[in-house]
Amino acid sequence: MPQSIYLRNELLANEIGRSLSTKDPIFPSRENIRKIGPMNTLGQFKELGIQSLKVLMHYTTIRPDSSVLDIGCGYGRLSIPLTRFLSQQGSYAGIDVMEHAIADCRRRISPGNDNFRFEHVDVHNGLYNNDASMAVGDALRSFGNGDFDVVFMFSVFSHMMPEDVASYLAQIRRVLKPGGQLLTTFFILNASSLAAIEGGSTRRTFSYPRDGVFLDDEKNPESAVAYPEPLLEQLLAGSGLQHDHTFYGQWSGNRWSLTGQDAVLCSVD
């Protein structure tokens, strides 16, 4: 990316950050944000949202008039800054397995943002939705073919087993427009990350093999799942998506990365 565009994106995202106050009722309660991660303050929640917006702006071709799908939107960490980025010509759809989070986003974010839609998908998730009624293959059934310019999933596939990842990738391929992009994150195992694990410089060790992947916690499989790079390439190739680039993350020692996990960019021809 040319330096001028990078700087422009940084300035715009920072401006959006300054325009958002955590006292605004568009933000969730502290109690709710603590349900989905280690964040303890609304300031951290806001900061991570702005950082995620920067990742989207730097790694994809998202524009104010883009139609975007946020899989695993949670309590709106990224949808809140996107209310200041997307124009009325753009649109946002956020889905999540947590029904309470979706209801909360509808209450806080939907009023005044007619182009923002939130939908509960009742599919199984070992962390957040054990009693599910919907098959994983139906998660995106309410969306039409070619509905979206950009689909993003941050810290979603890093909690899924291969069969479910394959199902989601096929569905994402269907709902992306020609030229559309998917930006998602994984924990990827390759020579570099394995060396970092063996050297003791990573918090996660992924010591437990299962179904071709490696788990960080044997008793809680979906807490964190790592994918050997050849398996990931195989899954991407099978989906019909074109794998454009991998941006290796901070978790394995890439300190200048924009993301903690490894970010994978794909597109539709």
Q: What confidence score (pLDDT) does residue 6 get?
A: 85
Q: In terms of residue numbers, what domain contains 65?
A: 3-267
Quick one: how far is CA 166 from the chain centroid?
16
> In a 10 Å sphere around its CB, with 0-12 CB exposed, 13-18 middle and 19+ buried, how is residue 217 labelled?
middle
What tokens appear for 227 in the block? Answer: 């994918």
Q: Is residue 134 very low, low, confident or very high in pLDDT (cuts 50, 70, 90)?
A: confident
Torsion region of 94: left, alpha or beta (phi above 0 gives left; psi -120 to 50 gives alpha): beta
Sign of CA dihedral 141, 143, 145, 146: negative
Instruction: Return d(Cα 257, Cα 264) in angstroms, integer.
Output: 13
Predicted confidence band at 128 (pLDDT cuts at 50, 70, 90)?
low
Number of domains observed in the structure of the chain = 1
pLDDT above 70 as % of the chain: 95
CA-to-CA distance for 172 and 152, rounded, in angstroms?
10
To the nearest whole number, what is the mean pLDDT of the chain? 94
From CA 216, how far away is CA 20, in angstroms rounded?
36
Secondary structure of residue 35 in the 3-state scheme: coil
- Number of Cβ within 10 Å of residue 225's Cβ equals 23
CATH number of the domain encompassing residue 215 = 3.40.50.150
Looking at residues 6-14, what average pLDDT do you find?
94
- In 10 A of CB 134, how many CB atoms? 15
Whether 125 has a pLDDT exceeding 70, the answer reads no
Count the residues in the chain.
Answer: 269
Beta bridge partners of 151: 69, 182
Task: Give the number of other CB atoms < 10 A from CB of residue 56.
Answer: 24
